[in-house]
Homo-oligomer: A and B are copies of this chain.
Amino acid sequence: MSGTDRSRKTALPPGPVVILVRPQLGENIGMVARAMLNCGLSELRLVRPRDGWPSATAEAAASGALSVLESAQLFASTEAAIADLQRVYATTARTRGMVKPIVTPNQAALELRHEAAAGRRTGLMFGPERSGLVNDDIALADTAVTVPLNPAFASLNLAQAVLLVGHAWFLAHDETPPRRLDTNAGAPASKAELVNFFERLEAELDETGFLFPPEKRPSMVRNLRNMFQRMVPTESEVNTLHGVIVALRGKKGKGAKRSGG
């Protein structure tokens, strides 16, 4: 899906630094840059990337997220890469043989948001593709982050791990309503327009004898009204419905306004 709209500015606060420890493939670094920018993260640090830096394969895989790659910083050690940060989260599938607090990405996102609000610099560490972070790197972090996944198939590539953790961070700042009706700038119909349509429909159906017998008419009317309420039509769509009635009744010239579509 491509919904990029460069005219829209992000109002995101500065996010955590993403630290890739000894990444192996340039392609994965590029895909990480893309996933970061998808989630509004821009600050990338690399600890001894195996295939050198800068990387043409990283640029090719970044799908346009070059700003992230161009500003990426190189470090010789994990300690150096996190030296200026106050809180560091280490992404790992398991904390073997260590006693460590472990959070979900959603919990990490809430905590990172709180740390940032308190003026603290934060980081998210990710390990090499093949092996993940070693315990000595994890011991440098405050907290481990483990992405809940199907335990029978939990292998995630590096960019996918960054995407899932980064997206949890993005959502912690996102105010998209969970459910909305996209009317594409069309105005929702007012209740007066809707009731006008209901009465029109019911009058036409009375003429045809559909709302019969009389003792059932009230519940039939309520059912029809509920059906069309669920449609949540726009003004224009109510006009379309009037047009549909006219067409179905075959009464030319008796329609209300012209159909909207």
Binding site for B on A (CB under 8 A): 1-6, 8-10, 12, 34-35, 37-40, 63-65, 91-104, 106-107, 127, 132, 144, 146-157, 160-161, 163-164, 167, 170-171, 174, 176-184, 186, 232-234, 237
Complex: how many Å from CA A4 to CA B132? 13
CB atoms of B101 and A181 under 8 A apart: yes
27 A-B residue contacts at CB 8 Å? A1-B92, A1-B127, A1-B132, A1-B146, A1-B156, A2-B154, A6-B152, A8-B151, A34-B153, A37-B150, A38-B160, A39-B149, A96-B184, A97-B184, A99-B181, A99-B183, A99-B234, A101-B179, A101-B180, A101-B181, A101-B182, A102-B179, A102-B182, A103-B180, A104-B178, A104-B179, A149-B167
| Chain B residue contacts of A144, Cβ below 8 A | 182
**B161 and A163 contacting across the interface, CB-CB below 8 Å:** no
Measured between alpha carbons, how far is A181 from B63 in the docked complex, in Å?
38
Cβ of A8 and Cβ of B152 under 8 Å apart? Answer: yes
- Kindly list the 6 A-B residue pairs having the minimum CB-CB distance in the complex, ordered from nearest: A3-B93, A8-B151, A107-B178, A1-B93, A3-B154, A37-B153
Bound form: Cα–Cα A98–B5 in Å: 19
Asked whether, in the complex, the Cβ of A4 is within 8 Å of the Cβ of B170, the reply is no
Cβ–Cβ < 8 Å partners of A181 in chain B: 99-102
In the complex, A144 Cα to B184 Cα: how many Å? 13
Most buried by B among A12, A63, A154: A154
Selected contact of A95 from candidates B2, B146, B184, CB within 8 Å: B184
Copies of the protein in its oligomer: 2
**Which residues of B are found within 8 Å of A154, using beta-carbon distances?**
1-5, 38
Give the distance to chain B from A194, nearest Cβ to Cβ, in Å: 15
What chain B residues lie within 8 Å of A157 (beta carbons)?
63
Q: Is the CB of A4 within 8 A of B151?
A: yes
